[in-house]
Amino acid sequence: MGLNGNALHINQCAGGLVGRFRAMGCPCEIVLYGQPADLKPAMQQAYQCVVQLEQKYSRYVEGNMVARINAGQRVEVDSETVHLLEFAQRCYQLSDGLFDITSGVLRNLWRFTKDASVPNIEAIVGLLPLIGWQKVDWQPPYIQLRPGMQIDLGGIVKEYAVDQVAQHIESTPLSGFLINLGGDIYVEQQDLSYPAWRIGIERPDAGPVITLEIRRGGVATSGATHRYLWHQGKRYGHILNPKTGWPLEDAPQSITVASNTCTEAGLWSTLAMLQGIHAEAFLAENSVQSWCYR
Amino acid sequence: MLQHAIEDIKLEDIKQPNIKPKEIKKALKMAVMSLFSASAYAADNPWQVETSGLLYSESDSRVSAVEPVVSARKEFADEHYLNLKLVVDALTGATPSGALPSNSVQTFTRPSGNGSYIIQPGELPLDNTFHDTRVALSANWEQPLSDRLRGQTGVNFSQEYDFTSLGVSGNLARDFNDRNTTLSAGINLENDWIKPEGDIPTPFAAMQPEGAVQARGDSSDSKTVVDFLFGVTQVINARTVMQLSYSISQADGYLTDPFKILSVVDDATGDLVTTDAYRFENRPDKRSKQSLYWQTNYRLDRDRISFSYRYFWDDWDIKSHTLDLSYRWNFAENQFIEPELRYYQQTQAEFYEPLLLASDLLNDTLPEFASADQRLAEFNAVTVGVKYQRQLANNQHWNARLAMYQQSGEGSPDGVFGSNAQFDLFPSLTAVIAQVGYGFEW
């Protein structure tokens, strides 16, 4: 199963198994501890769960539900997707329209590489009519986009997949596990005779590595240190404002949040990022356990 | 100009999003919770199991049947269903053999050739040899193929003492018009094998006395059946759904009933001839059937009315009309009573003959095909019944149905003359159907 080069590679580690594969455009890692006989089936099951969600929600899989939605068809979506789209709608409302799953078309213009430049302004303005969740005809379970509009659930599905895998493998009696899909993480280590999981937090500055000790919960990071472009002496981060088509100004370089679930952590970190200059204050006000770097 | 517009938007956006800090924590947790509460329960659906037992009993100790049924349905993924069904029929009793009543005692040889039974003067000859148990199994998988297209495929198998049937089926249904219209097309392929007790009788061969050599052909034969079904379902309005379908079916192979016979009578008197008085029937080896079916369901504020009509015709010249009417009276939230009324009427097959003439045998002018099987005669039937269902907790329900079936035909059909005119060749048949069912999740 899986696409070329995305196959699951399983290795032994002390008392457990490590599975590595690529999914959702990221390197992924799953570590399981428990009875040796249980581990391999649980690993396969976890991997399948990720692959299925990727197939179902990737924008790059021909003919899947997202492709049909993006082709402008009126699509009746299944119950899982209803809840994901409802969640996306809540994110849109909570962020006052900044967290918008229809903003993906902007990424066709903006390239965040070392030698990239600011795109043509007409092109940006030309895209704005195609952006805005409020323009989507969403009458659960039916969705229809205006011609040219697209949705991208990538900002939600990776964290969701982490939590779904965690839920799936809880049916296997494991002493502990870690699920890491490209930096979005959920861990469990309920057995107190074992140490808690230690998660290193990537930071863009050269400061000492921060290690988070956690027994159960989700960790997610927004922002990426290597995804920005310089233009006229100004640094543009890769988080785009769907209302203007331009990158958000004064956003931190990265925000890592620890919370009950990976989805919750991901939503906090994204919402904080969208606060721009006020990100730290926003996190502090809501007493979110977080690490914010500029 | 354009540059200005952009700058304006950017300035506008410097204002930070309007989120009230105290509300957001609660709202965010709610959003995440509802996402997961939803997806968690979709993980595993239970089997939905229906069980029922049916008792069918004809008057005058004709056929009686016991029929237990177990069916189960499970949703494996979103709208991916597996349906399984097991039916067992245990039949006992006697059916009309096709022979005429007579003023004297008649003796018939059993199909095996080893044994016989006697019919008293004036009585319609019933063959009580059959005693059979049928087991039928079917499995069916349905799933969406794309947003608007659903597919279904299935296999079915049934086995009796002397009969085996194996079939496969496929069906595609496509929604149009905001899902208010569904078009469907299906195909069934079936192959049946029959291996009757005492082998396949030679057409029109005389029934020989017990112990004598019977004129028989192969020990088994078979037929194939191909059905095509086309349908359209239309939502008329919020209360009304209509369905119209057309089916065409082609059967090829052995379509004769190896146990049915015809009486040979004297051309002048109508009395049974004294030798070789019973001849085995013969039917064409092809049959092409077509039917049109129209059904309407109308939902009232509380109750539901369902009406259907079927027109059937085939190249054996049988035409039939079936009318069905039921009213579901939802008199309480968890109970309903549903009276039903069904009327059926058919014309006879072109080769239906109540008897054979001795002169035709003598002069070799027999028709190519002939059968005195009452199921190919002209008759009508009425079913009146009532069903009660009660919903219990935990998605369980039970139901009971009681129905009466009354069949009547022409007691003295065309072609009957002389001494036979005094007999009722199609005495009315009454049957009682009692059924109980229980459904649960597992």
DSSP per-residue string spanning A156-212:
HHHHHHHHHHHHHHTTS-EEEEEEEETTEEEEE---TTSPPEEEEEP-SSSSPPEEE
Q: Identify the weakest region by mean pLDDT among A6-10, A44-48, A219-223, B75-79.
A: B75-79
Q: In this prediction, what percent of chain A has a pLDDT beyond 90?
A: 34
Q: What pLDDT, in 10s, does the model give residues A154-205?
A: 889 999 999 999 988 877 788 889 999 988 999 998 777 778 888 888 777 7
Residues of chain B whose beta carbon is less than 8 angstroms from a beta carbon of chain A are 2-3, 5-6, 9-10, 12-14, 16-19, 21, 24-25, 27-32, 34-36, 38-40, 42, 78-79, 146-147, 178-179
A268 touching B (Cβ < 8 Å): yes
The pLDDT value recorded for residue A144 is 92
Residues 28-87 of A with CB under 8 A from B: 63, 65, 68, 73-76, 78-80, 82-84, 86-87
Distance CA B344, CA B327 (A): 18
State the smallest CA–CA distance between residue A245 and chain B in angstroms: 9
Nearest-by-Cβ selection for B36 from A121, A163, A278: A163
What average pLDDT does range B363-375 have in this prediction?
94
The pLDDT value recorded for residue A226 is 59
Query: Which SS3 state, helix, strand or coil, does residue A155 take?
Result: helix
**For chain A, how big is the Rg over CA atoms in Å?**
20
- Count Cβ atoms below 10 Å from residue B48 Cβ, excluding itself: 17
A191 touching B (Cβ < 8 Å): no
Q: For residues B297 and B264, is the Cβ–Cβ distance under 8 A?
A: no
Nearest-by-Cβ selection for A241 from B13, B36, B39: B13
What average pLDDT does range A80-99 have in this prediction?
90
Q: Report the relative pairing of strands B80-92 and B132-144 from DSSP bridges.
A: antiparallel
Residue where the block lists tokens 């203007």: A244
Mutate: best of B2, B26, B39, B178, partner A, most A CBs <10 A: B39
Distance CA A11, CA A28 (A): 14
Confidence of residue B3 (pLDDT cuts 50, 70, 90): very low
The pLDDT value recorded for residue B386 is 98
Q: Identify the weakest region by mean pLDDT among B234-243, B340-349, B350-359.
A: B234-243
Q: What is the pTM of this model?
A: 0.59
The pLDDT value recorded for residue A100 is 92
Helix (H) or strand (E) holding A40: helix A36-57
State whether ipTM is beyond 0.85: no
Q: What pLDDT, in 10s, does the model give residues B310-322?
A: 999 999 999 999 9
Distance CA A250, CA B304 (A): 64
Judged against a pLDDT cut of 90, whether residue B338 lies above it is answered with yes
The pLDDT value recorded for residue B379 is 96
What average pLDDT does range B36-50 have in this prediction?
68
More confident residue, B12 or B162: B162
A133 touching B (Cβ < 8 Å): no
Cα of B185 vs its chain's centroid, Å: 19
**Residues of A with Cβ-Cβ distance to B10 under 8 angstroms:** 244, 246
Confidence of residue A1 (pLDDT cuts 50, 70, 90): very low
Judged against a pLDDT cut of 80, whether residue B161 lies above it is answered with yes
Is B19–A95 a contact, with Cβ atoms under 8 angstroms apart?
yes
Residues 202-241 of A with CB under 8 A from B: 241
Confidence of residue B6 (pLDDT cuts 50, 70, 90): very low
Confidence of residue A225 (pLDDT cuts 50, 70, 90): low
